[in-house]
Structure 1
């Protein structure tokens, strides 16, 4: 079978402890050079001009982007700080940019202190060794990268244009947003996106997507376990203009939110399962049952009510899991490990990841073009006996994820092919006859396709040998990809 064009050895990738230098910029070297020259750093590769803003002429707001002035925090406040009393979901609110998908992920990030330290390196400040230079780490397509920025921020009428700090002298949210804008090409490249992109870029973990009207009955239990694990959780509403007037229940259409809590309370001796949600606008809240002003809180004991209930206009609110699945469209969970999916503490999911490439010789297209399909990179998976420590009756035991990377500098210019993968079960005689015989004689046991950066699917596979074939819809569509397999049983992947 054709091998993937790049090595499958994760050790070849940019590790978290030794990330790749984005655009070949070395943070420590640039910092020391600026300190020795006693000059504040200015980033030539993401300069303070219109190129870094990008094209936002379509935005309907009162900002004249030709009149933007780039200023350092010390020019805006007298005592700028990088972080004030730790990072919190209440430190910021969305600015004049449609990047609620990114800020919802930031809100989820603030709950996971270990992951926050990975993304936002410690010991950065506006006092000790300050030289106008900062850096952040992101996971991009199988590799960790270290991204350098200066602290010149776009302003209009003396106010920040994009994400706003709620504490006027706290600047980590604006600098994190700038670093991510640099990775994506410009601020305009952050305008609209999918929550899963930034969640994966913060963690490099396993991403799980649930369509809420098809979600399993035990979804709340999954969310409860995810909340205890190192997970980021975000959700989105049904399509609609994000800036339309909110409907009467306060939920904004076509908008991304952060899931910030999962709890159960006793209401008149009846258990009620609740989900807490945050609007990255920092305002506009749900007004139905279990909202801040809901009379249902009077049916809860004082101790429980005090623990959960706050009447604050901060964009955060509680609602029942039934209303959550009704008024929200989808839920994304991104975690370092998929262990939270199982009730058994003895069940540990394993992950394996490969970087591959569809080249002119290996971009064979979908199975509809069988004569070229067998040219695609192929990965053999062998699943050993199911782990008795893991509950497995009718439960999925494999998650397959495929991410495409078209390597365009600007995120908006990245053409997302219709990508996906097929999974074939390999019988003994088919293995001996070669992969073409598998494709000729066997229907795939699973497949998944979408016009997205990432496609993922839960699978239930019995012990045996399988072939995973990642591909684009049409032959000749070239790009690199990351294929990940997460399994709660002993699995061999090559």
Structure 2
């Protein structure tokens, strides 16, 4: 069954992370830096991933954009910056100038898992009066968990974030998480194009299974249903078009694009039972517009209870489609699970 549509985390301890050992990335100690800059009442600037053009990387922005680029702290962009507002949700963010839909699709998947989110986005940090400008995030890399420190200077043009942005203007966990992963990879440009499986493993350290939907087994929907019940993370992709651009097809599907699988369910019509898949576009908008989409007349054939439970007619990037259409228009499915039990089965 599909997870409920709600935000996952507000405050609370990250006790679930206490059993893990985190290696300090580039030997930077978050607690020591936080204490140092709190005492000196200065704002941290990360010399190992400095707010300079080399951290953007080459070939990503035009010369005109680079000339206009200004690194700004959230406290310079809004009056009341927050790391998290009312919990993390896949509906918080929208993709920016960076072609990292694969990374954002994985973020959309982990927002369902409180334990994972508390590990990736530690709760021991916040904005506020006198905050030191230092944050940290955690990823799985090369067989170990790493703790990545960053400053909170973000790339902007004309006072607007140019990469991952949040729909709530004073919420910054998505943009700072993206910056931390860019630091791990060497630059923002290094995130331009990638595989959702890499991001899912970076967020979980879990085991991974790939399915080619052109050769999908008959029991694939049942496997997806079991994966959802086990708390596994799922992402999918569409085949590329004739050009490198993310062309939007008349049916609303984007070619060469990564999506999050956010749930599966079954509904009953007068004639048959239909297996459905719920999918999220990390652009934060743009949806499938055919059978079982938000405005599809097929929803009139199911019970009022099912319509209320599953249908949400909003242009938020999330939509339902049949399993048959899913296998027709998508090319691949990635399932990542912290435990190997599900994949072993």
- TM-score in terms of structure 2 length: 0.91
CA deviation digits over 1:136-157, x for unaligned, max 9?
0100010110000000000001
Give, in whole Å, the separation in 1 of the partners of 2:37 and 2:149.
13
The 1:177–1:189 alpha-carbon spacing in structure 2 relative to 1, beyond 3 Å, is same
| 1:73 aligned residue | 74
Is the 8 Å Cα contact of residues 242 and 253 (structure 1) preserved in structure 2?
A: no
The 1:99–1:129 alpha-carbon spacing in structure 2 relative to 1, beyond 3 Å, is same
Shift of 1:231: 1.3
Shift of 1:38: 0.7
Shift of 1:339: 2.3
CA deviation digits over 1:100-124, x for unaligned, max 9?
0000000001011111111111132
The total of aligned residue pairs comes to 327
Give the structure with the larger helix fraction: 2
Identify which of 329, 336, 340 aligns with 1:334. 336
SS in 1 for 2:108: helix
SS in 2 for 1:134: strand
Does 1:169 find its partner at 2:170? yes
Give, in whole Å, the separation in 2 of the partners of 1:56 and 1:45.
21
The 1:91–1:169 alpha-carbon spacing in structure 2 relative to 1, beyond 3 Å, is same
| 1:31 aligned residue | 34
Does 1:42 find its partner at 2:22? no
Shift of 1:246: 1.1
Identify which of 5, 20, 23 aligns with 1:20. 23
Give, in whole Å, the separation in 2 of the partners of 1:54 and 1:90.
28
Specify every segment of 5 or more residues in structure 2 that has no aligned partner in the other structure, as ranges: 1-17
SS in 1 for 2:211: strand
Shift of 1:127: 1.9
CA deviation digits over 1:214-248, x for unaligned, max 9?
11111011111111112111000011246444111
The 1:94–1:337 alpha-carbon spacing in structure 2 relative to 1, beyond 3 Å, is same
CA deviation digits over 1:2-58, x for unaligned, max 9?
xxxxxxxxxxxxx9622111001011111111011110111010000101000135x
| 1:409 aligned residue | none
Shift of 1:296: 0.2
CA deviation digits over 1:152-205, x for unaligned, max 9?
000001100100100000000000000000000000000000111110000001
SS in 2 for 1:55: coil
Q: Within 5 Å, which residues of 2 pair with 1:300-379? A: 300-341=302-343
Rg comparison, structure with higher value: 1
| 1:147 aligned residue | 148
Give, in whole Å, the separation in 2 of the partners of 1:20 and 1:303.
49
| 2:106 aligned residue | 105
Give the structure with the larger strand fraction: 1
| 1:272 aligned residue | 274
SS in 1 for 2:86: coil
Q: Which moved more, 1:119-128 or 1:253-262?
A: 119-128
Give, in whole Å, the separation in 1 of the partners of 2:260 and 2:64.
27
| 1:93 aligned residue | 94
- TM-score in terms of structure 1 length: 0.64
| 2:10 aligned residue | none
Does 1:157 find its partner at 2:158? yes
Give, in whole Å, the separation in 1 of the partners of 2:332 and 2:131.
42
CA deviation digits over 1:275-319, x for unaligned, max 9?
000111111110110001100000011000110111111111000
